[in-house]
Structure 1
Amino acid sequence: MSLGPACIFLRGGKKIARSLADDEIQELREAFTEFDKDKDGLITCKDLGNLMRTMGYMPTEMELIELSQNINMKLGGRVAFEDFVDLMAPKLLAETAGMIGLKELKDAFKEFDMDGDGSITIDELRLAMTKLLGYQVNRREIEAVIREADNNGDGTVDFEEFVKMMSRD
């Protein structure tokens, strides 16, 4: 089994979605700069739509209207780079999570679900992480991971919750 999904899962207790990598932020900065015609660090809402399209995202007119309404409340309807990153980060992170295939997710889930009952308990996750990482993980961190991923409140993580957590933006 690859350690990637396991590490992402463990990190989830602190923050479910990973942060953008430096190269991803640099890619966003370069794209933003192309549309920042007057180099003041702001782009218009119209440019935002065009910029998103050049990056392969196809926002609907309704999404752009919603975005512009939120953005119009500050900076006179223009978008700063930081706001652009906040807007694009979930899309980039969801893309990355989507690269983890269903087979890999099933394999990772099986590693954690030691008794094969279809759910991951705190104890199972703690044992699996100890085995994978080679040291014992703090119980509070494990509890936080389970609590964050447990959508139905049963105190465990089933496969559906696991998949949602792995692809959460």
Structure 2
Amino acid sequence: MGYMPTEMELIELGQNINMNLGGRVDFEDFVELMAPKLLAETAGMIGVKELKDAFKEFDMDGDGEITTEELRQAMNKLMGEHMSRREIDAIVKEADDNGDGTVDFEEFVRMMSR
């Protein structure tokens, strides 16, 4: 995953595993536990300000979520890309980790780090 946790983070992770997961963890649980750290690292590499600015360009109504329509408009406006509804839906579906049909800032950061 490209992330090197500190010793303290590993201890903290071990405590979370023992308390919340009964001492066992599968890959999905591991990713869920490490997601905040990975997001922070990605934001640090790209730059939080740059990520927020880019997100605002896509989140046209400023509600904190990018809809398929906002993505379509942004792709047309910012990149001159005229994508089909199917292509836009596929992008949102790929990035939409919580299944609500939109892309929030955390999902946007994850998408940008792929």
The TM-score, its normalising length taken from structure 2, stands at: 0.59
Would the aligned equivalents of 2:58 and 2:74 in 1 still touch at CA under 8 Å? yes
1:136 maps to 82
**How far does the alpha carbon of each residue in 1:46-73 deviate from its partner, in whole angstroms, 9 at most, with x for none?**
xxxxxxxxxxx97xxxxxxxxxxxxxxx
Name the amino acid aligned to 2:49. Answer: K
The Cα shift of 1:134 comes to 1.9
The Cα shift of 1:107 comes to 0.3
1:102 maps to 48
For residues 91 and 74 of structure 2, the distance between their equivalents in structure 1, rounded to whole angstroms, comes to 13
For residues 97 and 139 of structure 1, the distance between their equivalents in structure 2, rounded to whole angstroms, comes to 29
Pair 1:121-2:56 in alignment: no
2:94 maps to 148
Pair 1:166-2:102 in alignment: no
Larger radius of gyration: 1
What is the CA RMSD across the aligned residues, in angstroms?
2.4
| Structure 1 stretches of 4+ moved >4 Å | 95-98
SS at the partner of 1:116?
coil
For residues 49-64 of structure 1, the aligned pairs below 5 Å read none
Q: How many residues align?
A: 77
Would the aligned equivalents of 1:98 and 1:167 in 2 still touch at CA under 8 Å? no
SS at the partner of 1:148?
helix
1:97 to 1:116, Cα distance in 2 relative to 1, 3 A: closer
The Cα shift of 1:166 comes to 1.5
User: Which runs of no fewer than 5 residues in structure 2 stay unpaired?
Assistant: 5-40
For residues 124 and 156 of structure 1, the distance between their equivalents in structure 2, rounded to whole angstroms, comes to 10
**How far does the alpha carbon of each residue in 1:69-125 deviate from its partner, in whole angstroms, 9 at most, with x for none?**
xxxxxxxxxxxxxxxxxxxxxxxxxx8885311101000000000000000000000
